[in-house]
A and B are shown apart, each in its own frame.
Chain A
Amino acid sequence: MNEPIITMHNVSFSYQNKPILDGINFELPKGKFMGLVGPNGGGKTTLVKLILGLLKPDEGNVTLFGIPLEKFQERNKIGFVSQKANSFNTGFPATVFEVVSTGLTAKLGYFTFFNKQDKQNILRALELVDMSGFANENIGKLSGGQQQRVFIARALVSEPELLILDEPTVGVDQENVKRFYELLHKLNEEQEITILLVTHDTEIMTEYATDVVCLNKTLHFHGNSEEYCSLSDKDLSLFYGHPVTTIVHHS
């Protein structure tokens, strides 16, 4: 088995005395593409925030690249893409190039300037997400799907080994969602980037992800995509805490 990139050992977290996560144990090995699913309020985003160090667990510990989270310094090994709508002001007057360049800021460190190589890396990241023709466009003028690809480029430009995405396809139209998953698949296969994807598009995700984790306060399922797809509606209803019917889309 490959070395684990993320390890969570017996992690619990509560917010205002309400338990959100309870005794979570899981491991994300290098090279995997893991889909994290579960009902709203099931603690998916909280789990991501714990991994990113934005929240501290009440109990248990988190390890990144074999280093305890409290001591983990190499933040540039992690690329993060959030729900676009949450953290982005569409009126912000920046070009696509400028937005992607902000992904290099922390890696380069204080008192440094972008050099030629950095500029090439920015263009290469845009190429990777198929957006190289848009470098000088205003970010606010792009469609939702295009903006999301730019944010992936921002996460990729620091050459991360782990990519964490929190519901990145919210507000992206159906056709572009498929393109988006193909891009993630390519990054996982060709660039060997380990991926953790929080999502509600269970059906399309299972086509591309190697592993699936189902979270509702505790971990209800942890296995590969085929095993997840073979689960019955009854099993899923148990995980979600309410009746679930699988809808198969035929396109």
Chain B
Amino acid sequence: MLADFLNYEFLRYTFITGLLIGIIAPLLGTFIVVRRLSLIADALSHVTLAGIAFGLMIEKLLLITFPPLYSGMAFSVIGSIFIEKLRTVYKTYQELAIPIILSAGVGLSVIFISLANGFNTDLFGYLFGSVSAVSQSDFLLIFIIFIIVVLIVTFFYKELLTLSFDEEHATISGIHTKHIHLLFIVLTALVIAASMRIVGVLLVSALMTLPVAAAMRIAKGFKQMLFLSILFGEISVIIGIISGYYLSIPPGGTIVMIAVTILLLTIGVKRSRKSQQEMREA
């Protein structure tokens, strides 16, 4: 079954990229979920779409080759900084930043797509993911993002945990919470841009939140939750990419449905364990 993935270069890139984002998306997702920022990932993915639409437009209008992933990443990072600014403007209504950025992203996307004379198959791949879309230059960019994310999370792990658990306490103890938070949001933007090719704009946030939601059901501590999230993320990506390829379905759909299945299983396991325990006690 894996033979095609070993034989064709483009599939190999897709597969390795999948393995990389199966690590970094749940890794950052863990912090996003516990900080109750899940919707920020959604907002940023729509801004990334605007960046990609911009790149496709430039390609079409100027007739040059321009990797849209780069403009997608640039938009995503700029969007993340805007979200932070907006959150300080609306101090008591911080969640307002999310719909503002999300609609701005979709609005810009529509404009760029129209200027480029409408939809094409490329764009479909960006929306739902694609198994054949990862070019060598995409792979290189995603690999660099992977290294940056893993290094920064490793070095700032204790600060990120402290900030996530209790922001007030972190500030009082002298941690530069604002800087750490900005760093974290920019990393999120990078991960979203990196995951785009495989899972698509509309489903990126699912890969960051569903494995975490499943891990949260069974993990005792934070580190355990982190590793379980990554494990669930990897399982979803591997089965999702392979089945998507053989069934000719965009991998975004299959990956997310595998993640949903894992989530339902963890809920089921916990329920049955609980009822068994109650039966024993009764």
User: Chain A residues in contact with chain B, CB under 8 A?
Assistant: 52-54, 73, 75-76, 78, 80, 82, 86-89, 92-95, 97-99, 101-108, 110-114, 136-138, 154, 158
Contact = CB atoms under 8 A, between A and B. Distances in A.
List the 10 closest pairs (A to B, CB-CB), nearest first.
Answer: A75-B174, A95-B221, A106-B173, A102-B162, A105-B162, A94-B222, A106-B174, A105-B158, A87-B168, A93-B225
Contacts, number: 87
B155 A111 contact: yes
A93 B169 contact: no
Contacts of B166: 87-88, 102
Contact of B220 (A52, A93, A101, A112): A93
Given A87-B166, A94-B165, A138-B220, A102 B158 contact: yes
Which of the listed residues B216, B221, B223 has the most CB atoms from chain A within 10 Å of its own CB?
A: B221
A80 B165 contact: no
A5 B9 CA distance: 68
Contacts of A114: 158
Interface of B: 34, 155-156, 158-159, 161-162, 164-175, 216, 219-223, 225
Contacts of B164: 92
B222 A93 contact: yes
B95 to A, nearest CB: 16
A105 B222 contact: no
Contacts of B169: 80, 82, 87, 102, 154
Contact of B165 (A53, A99, A136, A138): A99
Q: Is the interface of B mostly helix, strand, loop or mixed?
A: helix
B221 A105 contact: no
Given A88-B166, A94-B165, A75 B172 contact: yes
A26 B166 CA distance: 30
A75 B166 CA distance: 16
A191 B241 CA distance: 59
Contacts of A93: 34, 216, 219-222, 225
Contact of B173 (A95, A103, A113): A103
A62 to B, nearest CB: 14
5 contacts: A54-B172, A88-B166, A94-B222, A95-B222, A98-B222
A86 B169 CA distance: 11
A95 B161 CA distance: 12
Nearest to B216: A93
A92 B164 CA distance: 9
Contacts of B158: 101-102, 104-105, 108, 112-114
A136 B169 CA distance: 22
A193 B222 CA distance: 31
Nearest to B168: A87
Contact of A110 (B156, B165, B221, B222): B156
Contacts of A80: 169, 172-173
Contacts of B170: 102, 105-106
Given A54-B172, A138-B221, A92 B159 contact: no
A101 B223 CA distance: 12
A34 to B, nearest CB: 19
A46 to B, nearest CB: 15
A75 B173 CA distance: 6
Nearest to B221: A95
Contacts of B167: 87
Contact of A92 (B34, B156, B172, B173): B34
Contacts of B216: 93
Which of the listed residues B34, B161, B166, B168 has the most CB atoms from chain A within 10 Å of its own CB?
A: B166
A133 to B, nearest CB: 15
Contacts of B172: 52-54, 75, 78, 80
A102 B165 contact: yes
Which of the listed residues A75, A102, A158 has the most CB atoms from chain B within 10 Å of its own CB?
A: A102
A104 B159 CA distance: 10
